[in-house]
Amino acid sequence: MKFGKEFASQMVPEWQAAYMNYNFLKTLLKEIMIFRQQQSLSQDNQVNLRPQPLKVGTLKRRGSLFRAFSGLTSRYGMKSPKKDKEDEVILVSAMHTADEEQGEHVHGQSYQTFFLRAAEQGSEYEIVFFRRLDDEFNKVVSFYRAKVEEVVKEAEELNLQMDALIALRIKVNDPAAVTPFINERNTGYPLEVIHEEQQEKGLDRPREYQMASLDVLKHVKINTTAESPLSAVKSLFNSSKSDLQFNKNELRDAKEKLKQAFIEFHEKLRFLKNYAFLNQLAFSKIMKKYDKITSRNASDAYLKMVEESYLGQSDEVAKLIERVESAFVKHFCNGNRHQGMSTLKPNAKRRRHRVTFFVGCFFGCSLALVVAIIVNMHNRDLLKSNGRTQYMNTIFPLYTLFGFLVLHMLMYAANVYYWTRYRVNYSFIFGFKPGTEMGYTEVLLLSSGLSVLTLAAVLSNLEMELDANTKSYSTLTELLPLGLVIVVLLITFCPFNIFYRANRFFLLVCLWRCICAPFYAITLPDFFLADQFTSQVQLLRSLQFYVCYYGWGDFKQRDAKPCNESDVYDIITIVIAVIPYWIRLLQCIRRWWGGQDPTQGLNGLKYFSTIVAVVSRTIQTQLTQKKLKAAARTFKIIAGSTSGVATIFNTYWDIAMDWGLLCKNSDNPWLRDKLILPNRSIYFIAMVLNVILRLAWMQTVLDFHDAPFLHKNALIAIVACLEIIRRGIWNFFRLENEHLSNVGKFRAVKSVPLPFSYEHDDKNQ
């Protein structure tokens, strides 16, 4: 792999703009090379009558074999031979800023390179190259210095948090042992910490101990109250932080929060260390390319400056990594370094070839089953049989549930593939535990496996219904979809570490938080999942039909009329359709009330308008089925107007707010300044598709007409599939916009709430 691709693959996606622009500098070098080639050709044309030297390109490799061996341990030394001043190409100097010269605090120095061969022909290309090279280097140093200052401040905050944790641990675990030390020095309990000055100087002295002060507990409040509906209700009446009760639950919760804070802080430090290393390597590579193209020797001088700069000399990050690892192993892993390092540095997820193999097998089986079902239906002319209508009213809605699930998973697999391809950090955005996120092959494995089970059940249902030898088992035929639902639910709630338990648990937690929407702080996975349910209303109605069809025993006669003609069933149908939008409305209210985003008030209004449209449409459909023409005509007007308003509102919000597009004065007209996809036309196509698919959904909502060649349930299923496809397209651009928001803020690590709160006066003392 070329260095440019390797360099891009190892970047922190959210910091990509802060890295050295290697490709841009390569294009400048290419311009220098083209100029030199043209100059060489012009000289050759002038002396074309002279005998040309023999080309010895084939001896180039052999000549390199006679060079002196430099040694594996640099036995000839790292210093290059001294050069005369006549051989110097560049002069690099550190330029102090005006504020620094006046004695004020600044971030450091800026570096400037002077090209000493400006009199040569074509030197303007090299002057531009070094000017841009300096810009990139100053950008990298400035970003690195700012991030180092940021992590130093975070380290100081973690120091205060650890003081409070250790004091709380002493108070909870062994309060009686504290008394002698308090009486003796009034400082607390001995904490075994070797002074860093002794470690750095290598002094062999007896260990000196610092004392962990219990006075800290008088000046902190705890934030470890577990987030729950009950705690949310209590916070409405008492907004202050809870006081310390000195119990083991507080200690456990505080320790868990601080442990997670250390893990995220260590990850940020590793990102910074890798950032410094990659950029130094990139500057080395680009200067070596310059020397090779120009046959000069300027890299030594420039790389010496890079090595002596803050980027090369700063060791704060390395020291912090050592101290964080030491403290983490000691205080959170009982001194077990192997356990501590495996937690701080989780192993990279490896791709398993058997997953790809089974995906291929399941997709092949699915295609074979589809062909078998089509052939079976054609040979027996099932589409024109007397039982077609009965089958479409009963069995078809039972199996469409799995079709909606499979299609949604396929769209999600496509999203994961393109997020990975265009380096959208979906794992960080969703908050997956490192190494547990599912790749697109794993999602395809689940979807293809479920499709095989569903299609096999459909084919078995057809065979058992039509086979003369098994017609007596008609009741068993009806139980096949229910058995499949039970299998899916058992796998979903299985407590054992199989079938991607971490992802299933993550999904269930997000689902619970959606159900208890106003009582939890809303995170992106919560409202992202709730948005998926707004596109799966028909799936929820299929679940409702399952409960009615099997709960009331209608499956024994294969008769759906008791469900469809029940007034209670009609009311539940309205409630089921409203639930996803109601959850999103509550989430918007919670985010608006908590001050997270003032625009969530308008977002909540959008979902309220959708609720009104869905309710009016459902009532209008039910009145039409009951042949109450006058009332149905009135509600059709209401449904048409409310659905039109909701469609316009939702479409604008999708494109302008969720996708961040329709920016008139941006660098990319009507899009946004930063785009991930290289082809801008894809964004316009996505916007048009969003409008069309929403209008298709609106057509079903208004119930304009039924297709004569399709059963009504089939038409409903097709339009529901179009909505799922629209949601899949929405998912990609929604997460792309979130990723670019993180990139703009250079936010690459989760912010973990700390367990203790210090007052400002106490923190400064």
Each residue's pLDDT tens digit, 430-449: 999 888 899 999 999 999 99
Split at pLDDT 50, 70, 90, the class of 664 is confident
CB neighbours (10 Å) of residue 695? 12
List the single range of 177-186, 191-200, 535-544 with lowest mean pLDDT. 191-200
- Encode burial over 394-432: b for 16+ CB neighbours within 10 A, e otherwise: bbbbbbbbbbbbbbbbbbbbbbbbbbeeeebbbbbbbeb
User: What is the structure's pLDDT at 266?
Assistant: 94
Confidence of residue 71 (pLDDT cuts 50, 70, 90): very low
Task: Give 383's pLDDT tier (boundaries 50, 70, 90).
Answer: confident
Report the distance separating Cα 19 and Cα 8, nearest Å: 9
89-114 confidence digits (pLDDT tens): 888 888 765 544 444 444 567 888 88
Is the per-residue pLDDT at 237 higher than 70?
A: no
Tell me: pLDDT of 32 over 80.
yes
Task: Give me the phi and psi of 379, to 5 degrees please.
Answer: -65, -35
The predicted pLDDT at position 691 comes to: 93
Question: What are the backbone dihedrals phi and psi of residue 236, each rounded to the nearest 5 degrees, phi first?
Answer: -65, -30
**Residue 651: is its pLDDT beyond 60?**
yes
- SS (HEC) of 495-536: CCCCCCHHHHHHHHHHHHHHHCHHHCCCCHHHHHHHHHHHCC
Alpha carbons 120 and 657: distance in angstroms, whole number? 54
Query: What pLDDT score was predicted for residue 478?
Result: 82
Q: What is the pLDDT of residue 242?
A: 55
Q: Which of 338-342, 386-390, 516-520 has the lowest mean pLDDT?
A: 386-390
131-140, 351-360, 502-511: range with lowest mean pLDDT: 351-360
Question: Residue 695: phi, psi to the nearest 5?
Answer: -70, -35
Domain range summary for the chain, segments of one domain joined by +: 353-744
Q: Beta partners for 242?
A: 222
Which run of H or of E encompasses 92? strand 90-96
- Name the average pLDDT for the chain: 82
Position 234 scores a pLDDT of: 63
**pTM, whole model, 2 decimals?**
0.85
Nearest alpha-carbon partner for 457 in 383, 390, 395, 387: 395
Comparing 203 with 697, the larger pLDDT belongs to 697
Helix (H) or strand (E) segment spanning residue 189:
strand 189-191
Q: Residue 198: what pLDDT?
A: 40
Quick one: pLDDT at residue 76? 40
More confident site: 385 or 598: 598
pLDDT at residue 104, rounded to an integer: 40
Which region among 34-43, 407-416, 672-681, 715-724 has the lowest average model confidence (pLDDT)? 34-43
Q: What is the pLDDT of residue 624?
A: 80
CA–CA dist 657, 303 (Å, integer): 46
Query: Could you tell me which residue, 68 or 327, shows the higher pLDDT?
Result: 327
- Model pLDDT for residues 303-342, shown as the tens digit of each residue: 999 999 999 998 999 999 999 999 999 999 988 999 999 8
pLDDT bucket at 593, cuts 50 / 70 / 90: confident
Cβ-count burial 713-728 (b if 16+ within 10 Å, e if not): bebbbebbbbbbbbbb
Side chain identity, residue 156:
E
pLDDT of residue 156: 93
Average pLDDT on 137-152 reads: 95
Identify the pLDDT of residue 306: 92
